[in-house]
DNA sequence: GTCTATACGCCGATAGAC
DNA sequence: GTCTATCGGCGTATAGAC
């Protein structure tokens, strides 16, 4: 082998990272294999040494991204409400609206995941359910966990569609405020 | 003119309707001009008698769809909470999850709208704000209106990513239930 | 593992006949 | 307004040299 043992792993990792960013920014279907490889300094044909098809790459991106989202949002081990509220504040943030490439894949790739084949959706379901379970444990409410998750994803989808930063900010503030009230209500209950 | 006066309008309307359904189902970027025209029994070249470019069509689809969503959800003239709650029940429904082509454009095209140029996003903002204002009037709360709107859109994005109908249903039920509590809380306040 | 070269189809868009 | 024919580019994917 003309290349070192770890080289393939490194290349694949670089490709995954670069592709994930691009997919969240411009949409997966809008990316070409050639452009993806050029972005990491390789030719288009080299792509097929790492993935059998473009769809195969998408499955890998989804798994990687959702695993990462779970780490960021659900955390490992026991959590508490305070840490959850800090996560929500980071999630419902203008920086997150303006930089989809650095943020959660659910608002950015949700529609494309929804249109993927069953294998990808089962992967997505796995990680999304893990995140929901993590939140449900903290909140002691299954339905509240689903509701807040949906609201966070929706807030970013809605805000990113808007043209003016002021209204985007108002969407984020509103969701943050209303979630705060839901959390407070669930605490005294 | 070899074609009747209303012919062009009818054809354009048929094209808009057919394209809107396809866009919500498979995503706008995945559609080809040729396929869109074949779907209404015309050749691909005839497209350019109605729209100057594919992007021009997307702008028209967004305007048409969001205007329609406003009619369905915001209604014209005065509304009341009961009618709003009936709308939410229809929105947070498995039929809506399973048939994106018949439903709201916000969950289906949100990410693509977000990536469009400023003109499209200004259009989107216009209609979304009208819807929010309509709800805010009923609910007597700006932030609650934004929060519920986000939650509804997010619920559909999340549910459609999932593989199993049972969990999809649970997402819808959870959001419906939690929104119900938010509405009740805002009523007594 | 990566390269160049290439196959082959679909893409958006235009030209010109009717 | 719609058609057929066509252009030039880019899409995914493969073949074979190194």
B117-142, pLDDT tens digit by residue?
999 999 999 999 999 999 999 999 99
**Percentage of residues of chain A with pLDDT beyond 70:** 98
- Asked if residue A86 has pLDDT above 70, the reply is yes
- Chain D bases closer than 7 angstroms to a protein Cβ: 1-5, 10-16, 18
**Percentage of residues of chain B with pLDDT beyond 90:** 93
**First-residue to last-residue Cα distance in chain A:** 64
Residue A157 lies in a domain: yes
Which nucleotide has its C1' atom closest to residue B40's CA? D2
Residue A2 lies in a domain: no
User: Other C-beta atoms within 10 Å of B14: how many?
Assistant: 15
Residue B28 lies in a domain: yes
pLDDT at residue number A111: 98
The CATH number assigned to the domain holding B130 equals: 1.10.357.10
Please tell me the distance from the alpha carbon of residue A48 to that of residue B189, in angstroms, as a whole number: 61
Whether residue B139 contacts residue A139, with contact meaning beta carbons closer than 8 Å, is answered with: no
Whether residue A141 contacts residue A189, with contact meaning beta carbons closer than 8 Å, is answered with: no
Gyration radius (Cα) of chain A, Å: 18
pLDDT at residue number A78: 76
Instruction: Tally the domains of chain B.
Output: 1
User: What residues make up the domain containing B79?
Assistant: 7-188
| Geometric angle at alpha carbon A30, from B149 and B46, rounded to 5° | 90
Number of residues that this document lists for chain A: 189
pLDDT at residue number B170: 98
Please tell me the distance from the alpha carbon of residue B124 to that of residue A158, in angstroms, as a whole number: 10
Residue B2 lies in a domain: no
Identify the residue whose tokens are 């029940």. Answer: B89
Residue B1 lies in a domain: no
Residue A1 lies in a domain: no
How long is the CA B49 to C1' D17 vector, in angstroms?
A: 50
Please tell me the distance from the alpha carbon of residue B104 to that of residue B109, in angstroms, as a whole number: 9
Contacts of B143 in chain A (CB under 8 A): 173-174, 177-178
Rounded (10°) angle between helices B105-114 and A105-114: 120
Note whether A149 contacts B157, CB cutoff 8 Å.
Answer: no
Note whether A174 contacts B26, CB cutoff 8 Å.
Answer: no
Long-range contacts at A45-48 (CB < 8 A, ≥ 24 apart): A47/A15
Note whether B182 contacts A177, CB cutoff 8 Å.
Answer: no
Give how far the C-alpha of residue B89 lies from the chain's centroid of Cα atoms, to the nearest Å.
16
Whether residue A105 contacts residue A24, with contact meaning beta carbons closer than 8 Å, is answered with: yes
pLDDT at residue number B75: 78
Residue B88 lies in a domain: yes
């Amino acid at each position: 082998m003309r290349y070192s043992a770890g080289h393939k792993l490194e290349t694949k990792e670089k490709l995954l990272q670069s592709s994930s960013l691009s997919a969240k920014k411009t949409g997966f279907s809008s990316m070409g294999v050639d452009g993806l490889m050029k972005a990491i300094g390789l030719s288009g044909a080299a792509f097929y040494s790492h993935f059998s098809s473009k769809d195969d790459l998408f499955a890998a991106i989804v798994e990687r991204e959702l695993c990462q989202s779970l780490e960021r949002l659900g955390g490992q081990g026991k959590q508490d409400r305070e840490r959850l509220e800090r996560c929500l504040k980071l999630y419902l943030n203008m920086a997150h609206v303006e930089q989809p490439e650095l943020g959660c894949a659910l608002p950015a790739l949700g529609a494309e995941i929804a249109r993927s084949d069953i294998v990808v959706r089962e992967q997505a379901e796995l990680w999304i359910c893990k995140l929901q379970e993590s939140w449900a444990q903290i909140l002691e409410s299954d339905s509240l966990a689903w509701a807040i998750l949906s609201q966070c994803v929706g807030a970013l989808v809605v805000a990113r569609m808007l043209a003016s930063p002021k209204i985007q900010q108002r969407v984020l503030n509103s969701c943050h405020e209303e979630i705060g009230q839901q959390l407070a209500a669930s605490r005294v209950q």
